């Protein structure tokens, strides 16, 4: 039997919970089955599964690599972190994107500096910003605040969401200013972030933002005010 002559029904293996069969498919099937197996194995939190998927990060097929990265994120084992950090330099942008997302899901602080460096990668920087938000490390705040100055509204919005996840009050003045941004998405995400941070300096600006011309911004502002009040009450306990 040749290296890629093992081509089973991967969906059947998955439904049966046949981990060993899926690992064999990942290692010895054609590229389509390898990619499917890499995705299916993300449901199984097992050390031998993690080891097998880590090996697939170096697969010659990019679909296998991004599915492997995604599954490692779902499993959430920090053993994969050093190998995923290498995949942040993959030649394919979508592999790098899924890798950044996986690192955010795992939440290992070793990913902080490489992710900060990856904010320079314009193809994946939105995903990187959200991954930094999931890490929740205040050391990312300064670079995320710098992201609020770029022209790309989607990147500004992602940075705002990340700042809300981190919850550092240092971001409050810039987020308040973003409530007046010309872009609707930026205004909406700024409101959401301010609600999550829960700083009383945001109360008046959020109340003023209730007059926003877009109803979905006003809806987000209303939710943000509720979140902010909840957090302020928790701080007083």
Could you write out the DSSP letters of every residue in 55-81? HHTT-SSHHHHHHHHHHHHHHT-GGGH
In total, the chain counts a number of residues equal to: 237
Confidence of residue 7 (pLDDT cuts 50, 70, 90): confident
Q: pLDDT tens digit string along 93-115?
A: 999 999 999 999 999 999 999 99
Q: Global pTM? A: 0.94
Q: How far is CA 139 from the centre of its chain?
A: 17
Residue 200 scores a pLDDT above 60 = yes
Please check whether residue 86 is in contact with residue 118, taking contact to mean a CB–CB distance below 8 angstroms. no
Between 61-70, 114-123, 227-236, the lowest mean confidence (pLDDT) is in 227-236
The pair of structure tokens assigned to 200 is 């009383």
Gap between the terminal Cα atoms of the chain: 68
Q: Sketch the domain layout of the chain as residue ranges.
A: 8-135, 139-237
Average pLDDT of the chain, as a whole number? 95
Q: What integer is the mean pLDDT of 182-209? A: 97
The closest alpha carbon to 172, from 133, 145, 154, belongs to 145
Token pair of 207 as six digits: 């109340």
What pLDDT is attached to residue 226? 97
Burial class of residue 233 (count of CB atoms within 10 Å of its CB; 0-12, 13-18, 19+)? exposed
Joined tokens for residue 116: 């900060």
What pLDDT is recorded for position 3?
54
What pLDDT was estimated at residue 77? Answer: 97
Is 79 a residue whose pLDDT tops 80? Answer: yes
**Topology of the domain covering 139-237:** 1.25.10
Predicted local confidence at residue 217, as pLDDT: 97
* Tens digits of residue pLDDT in 136-154: 999 999 999 999 999 999 9
- Which whole number is the average pLDDT over 222-235? 94
Q: Looking at residues 84-97, what average pLDDT do you find?
A: 98
pLDDT for position 235: 83
Identify the band that residue 6 occupies on the pLDDT scale cut at 50, 70 and 90. confident
Q: What is the average per-residue pLDDT within 177-196?
A: 98
May I ask the CATH class of domain 8-135?
mainly alpha
């Amino acid at each position: 039997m040749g290296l890629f002559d093992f081509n089973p029904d991967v969906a059947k293996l998955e439904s049966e919970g046949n981990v060993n069969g899926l690992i064999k498919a990942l290692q010895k099937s054609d590229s389509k089955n390898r990619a499917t197996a890499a995705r299916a194995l993300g449901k199984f939190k097992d050390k031998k599964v993690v080891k097998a998927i880590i090996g697939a990060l170096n697969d010659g097929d990019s679909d296998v690599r991004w599915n492997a990265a995604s599954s490692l994120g779902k499993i959430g084992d920090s053993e994969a972190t050093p190998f995923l950090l290498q995949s942040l330099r993959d030649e394919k942008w979508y592999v790098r994107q899924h890798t950044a997302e996986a690192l955010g899901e795992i939440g290992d602080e070793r990913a902080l500096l490489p992710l900060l460096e990856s904010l320079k990668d314009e193809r994946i920087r939105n995903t990187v910003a959200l991954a930094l938000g999931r890490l929740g490390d205040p050391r990312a705040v300064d670079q995320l605040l710098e992201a609020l100055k770029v022209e790309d509204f989607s990147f500004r919005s992602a940075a705002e969401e990340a700042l809300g996840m981190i919850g550092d009050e240092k971001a409050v003045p810039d987020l308040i200013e973003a409530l007046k941004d010309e872009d609707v998405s930026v205004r909406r995400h700024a409101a959401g972030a301010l609600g999550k941070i829960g700083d009383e300096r945001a109360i008046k600006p959020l109340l003023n933002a209730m007059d926003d011309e877009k109803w979905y911004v006003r809806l987000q502002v209303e939710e943000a005010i509720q979140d902010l009040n909840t957090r302020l009450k928790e701080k007083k306990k």
